Structure 1
């Protein structure tokens, strides 16, 4: 497939990936907890970087726009998590070796039959070995230097976001401003690049937030397609600001991943849900959407490889047709944005990283110009001003997932905890200022804000509303709320030494965002 065969397509295509997990370190291992981090790291983050490095070696740049939330960046740089990840990779290799040398069936599926499992285990062992070598070579000092190289080389554009991924429309304005500014500063410190764009948590928007974005130096952000009434062919300045909203093109994005269909469900691809009980590996292919786990066929990499080629061709054709149609509709070259969670590629869809590599080569060969959101701004892919409605990319495209009846208790909890935190921190800082000398750093106030931000993470109501590890989500929300209240109560009562000890104790588990400084909290 060459450009000369197909002809150049008018417009620009942008792939946006949103990388996010909640803070998981020190908060359980299995079935929800650190295992989630290490699975995503090994299955998605390492392969994605491998793909981007390979494409960069081919002198390809401006490949995609990569959102990395501060809470993920914190975990990928954290010494405890780095050590845990290395142990996890080594354990994966041992489990693969066990599979490769098995002599008995260890599960109900034909994929767990001895011969099939041995073949699968040998491939897994080689893959685990490759990741261990790559981890030692590139990742042992954290993700920041790895990603900075890609940003410096203009292979990717970085999107940032607020600390701990709060659902911003429901957050107190002072804490919302603080979380965003601190989140952007966190990215600047890690990557030596302060993002100009953000992926707003859950693509959530409330009228007026564009003013906050402009004040923080944010020039563009993502919303879901319905926020723009499906007209996503151009970025649009929001209200009276110069801040640009880019909308996800659902027609293209859902071709890959949708609530009802998408490439990952193809019978040839590895099945995410079927485990070999003895090793914890996933040796089966999807086989069929209605096929029970006990009847899943063994994974066949050659069959999967052929399916990848078919889906690459289908996606390229979809993008070309969409760009032509949208360009004709608006009478000028259009901008098409496909956006996904990064964890789709590899963690949920094993073949996803290889599909990405082939797509990012195939699109330019087919006459499609690929660029970042910043490229779209510079290229003038901008339309008229728009007034956005309250919205998100959740069910119903409104706020129901984070503010609905199922999570009304969490909304109330968040409001109470935030009020307690702001009141306590204000008083603590006022006492220090009254002394007359420069206000010193206050670790107690810092930890109160840190625990508060973890309390209001958008992950907890999402998991509850979707009934996905809902008990864990409620436990985490209430745990961080308890931490906030416990420290705040001691501080408010004047028990400063006890407050300090409590803050230090909670910080051992929740010590992320070391540069967080309560003195930068906006004044009331």
Structure 2
């Protein structure tokens, strides 16, 4: 049964922008691809394949400007890496075999999984064997997607030295340019982290729009806003709309008929249960029923479309003109965490235009003039408290100081090295190790008590390498530095990283 939510015709009550952010923080393992590759392959199979499949189907119908998608540079590198591509193909084959093995005990679930795994394997073999970049480039060239960029290794920008911040952003944007043929003009700043003045660095890098969380605009998210005198536009995440889907406390994925993420059939690794109830223990959860879940998808898609329409009608009355609402999520919610998420997404994107809602991208929203007057943004993030406490609070004071030491050592080595016409491989290694040490993920994992010892160990390992290599370079011990780097068997995440972009002010 199709979702119907409002009148057809030319009436448009406003604009809806869906923004997805693809980022798996714990995967870059010592500069190589992860030991915990299962996380990558699960998200690849259950989120990236089906979500982009939704976009491709809708694009084939002539629909354009469907959503805005951010893919962090480290994840983009993994999705193109030959090792990961081989591993993903093996993982999909294993998924199919696990479904077959479960058939004697769980025949209905096994049949469902067989269909999903077979379709994913065919999709991967047909379209993804050369990586994600050709897939993304095809959809962007067709006008179906706007791709967002971001700084390499996902650092928390407000805590970076200006030069390091500019270098990280340039490295990330250059990476996107290599993979996709064009530098993104929009970014999803890591953790939506912002400090006053960062917009000028964005403008210098060619970034003309970025995302912030709604409270940074005091909830006034009905239009994009230019930041100060920069001309750079910020878009605010509409929490009322976004939290309808997923919030710290509730959202559609918690519905009783959806597949339960946390309950496993351990012999097969498949998930056999539906949510049933928030307080129901795993052993008492009811079996998963795809037909019941499909009904829930229709119901929740209709509810969301009605909510978006009502929001836009209210904004039009408030602003005296059509406005917009921006819903922003981690891509992995759709399919990985919420099994039915891609089906819900497709239903919503089909139904919104029939409800008088224009679906478009952030870039197209700017082109349509959905931008209001300038604002002065406060320091902010999308983390707990909407401030910086997750990445700069007392619980991570040691990592904050470690990051400061990393930046001091990096800049000292850069300033000590004479300008060169060709790349310096030792300086490039130093810069990449520094960027890995500065990832925002380590502080996040510590603050959220998620593998905190591992996160601290990773940060300290990369910081230790920076300190050692920077010391050798500033002492002009390049032979010893070369021997030291040779002992690190890690592959480079960004083969085109060029530390000369971080030249000293004297050299410039």
Fold shared, TM-score > 0.5 on shorter chain? yes
Q: What whole-Å deviation, never above 9, does each CA across 1:241-294 have from its counterpart, x for those lacking one?
A: 100010001111000001111000001111111111112221111110001112
Residue number in structure 2 paired with 1:141: 130
Say which SS state the counterpart of residue 499 (structure 1) adopts. helix
Residue number in structure 1 paired with 2:348: 359
Q: Matched residues in 1 for 2:216 and 2:327: separation? A: 15
- Aligned-residue offset at 1:311: 0.4
Q: What whole-Å deviation, never above 9, does each CA across 1:192-221 have from its counterpart, x for those lacking one?
A: 121111101111110000111111111110
Residue number in structure 2 paired with 1:471: 453
Contact 1:24 1:34 (C-alpha < 8 Å) held by counterparts = yes
Does residue 240 of structure 1 match 2:229? yes
Contact 1:451 1:510 (C-alpha < 8 Å) held by counterparts = no
Q: What whole-Å deviation, never above 9, does each CA across 1:124-161 have from its counterpart, x for those lacking one?
A: 12211221121111111110000000000010111110
Residue number in structure 2 paired with 1:491: 473
1:90-489 mapped onto 2 (5 Å cutoff): 90-101=93-104, 114=105, 117-427=106-416, 429-430=417-418, 433=419, 438-489=420-471
Q: Residues 326 and 499 of structure 1: is their aligned pair in 2 closer, same or farther, counting only changes over 3 Å?
A: same
- Aligned-residue offset at 1:7: 7.1
Say which SS state the counterpart of residue 136 (structure 1) adopts. helix
Q: What whole-Å deviation, never above 9, does each CA across 1:364-393 have from its counterpart, x for those lacking one?
A: 122111111111111111111100000000
Q: Residues 483 and 471 of structure 1: is their aligned pair in 2 closer, same or farther, counting only changes over 3 Å?
A: same
TM-score (norm 1): 0.92
Say which SS state the counterpart of residue 333 (structure 1) adopts. coil
1:506-517 mapped onto 2 (5 Å cutoff): 506=488, 508-517=489-498
- Aligned-residue offset at 1:355: 0.6
Q: Matched residues in 2 for 1:201 and 1:503: separation? A: 29
Q: Residues 489 and 98 of structure 1: is their aligned pair in 2 closer, same or farther, counting only changes over 3 Å?
A: farther
Does residue 79 of structure 1 match 2:82? yes
Contact 1:23 1:71 (C-alpha < 8 Å) held by counterparts = no
- Aligned-residue offset at 1:29: 12
Residue number in structure 2 paired with 1:48: 51
Number of residue pairs matched? 502
- Aligned-residue offset at 1:165: 0.6
- Aligned-residue offset at 1:27: 5.4
Q: What whole-Å deviation, never above 9, does each CA across 1:18-76 have from its counterpart, x for those lacking one?
A: 11123625559999832211111111101111111111111111100111111111111
Residue number in structure 2 paired with 1:105: none
Residue number in structure 2 paired with 1:523: 504
- Aligned-residue offset at 1:164: 0.6
Q: Matched residues in 2 for 1:426 and 1:125: separation? A: 58
Q: What whole-Å deviation, never above 9, does each CA across 1:325-366 have from its counterpart, x for those lacking one?
A: 011111111111111111111111110011111111011122
Contact 2:32 2:493 (C-alpha < 8 Å) held by counterparts = no
Q: Matched residues in 1 for 2:380 and 2:7: separation? A: 42
Q: Residues 32 and 387 of structure 1: is their aligned pair in 2 closer, same or farther, counting only changes over 3 Å?
A: farther
Q: Matched residues in 1 for 2:33 and 2:26: separation? A: 15
| Greater Cα offset, 365-374 or 313-322 | 365-374
- Aligned-residue offset at 1:505: 4.4
Q: Residues 250 and 498 of structure 1: is their aligned pair in 2 closer, same or farther, counting only changes over 3 Å?
A: same
Does residue 21 of structure 1 match 2:21? no
Contact 1:13 1:370 (C-alpha < 8 Å) held by counterparts = yes
Q: Matched residues in 1 for 2:337 and 2:463: separation? A: 31
- Aligned-residue offset at 1:492: 3.6
Q: Matched residues in 2 for 1:89 and 1:501: separation? A: 40
Q: Residues 379 and 250 of structure 1: is their aligned pair in 2 closer, same or farther, counting only changes over 3 Å?
A: same
Q: Matched residues in 2 for 1:295 and 1:492: separation? A: 63
Contact 2:28 2:74 (C-alpha < 8 Å) held by counterparts = no
Q: Residues 234 and 165 of structure 1: is their aligned pair in 2 closer, same or farther, counting only changes over 3 Å?
A: same
| Greater Cα offset, 81-90 or 316-325 | 81-90
Contact 2:194 2:380 (C-alpha < 8 Å) held by counterparts = yes
Contact 1:168 1:205 (C-alpha < 8 Å) held by counterparts = yes
Contact 1:25 1:509 (C-alpha < 8 Å) held by counterparts = no
| Greater Cα offset, 386-395 or 477-486 | 477-486
Q: Residues 29 and 417 of structure 1: is their aligned pair in 2 closer, same or farther, counting only changes over 3 Å?
A: closer
Q: Matched residues in 2 for 1:392 and 1:449: separation? A: 25
- Aligned-residue offset at 1:118: 2.6
Equivalent in 21, 35, 40 of residue 38 of structure 2:
35
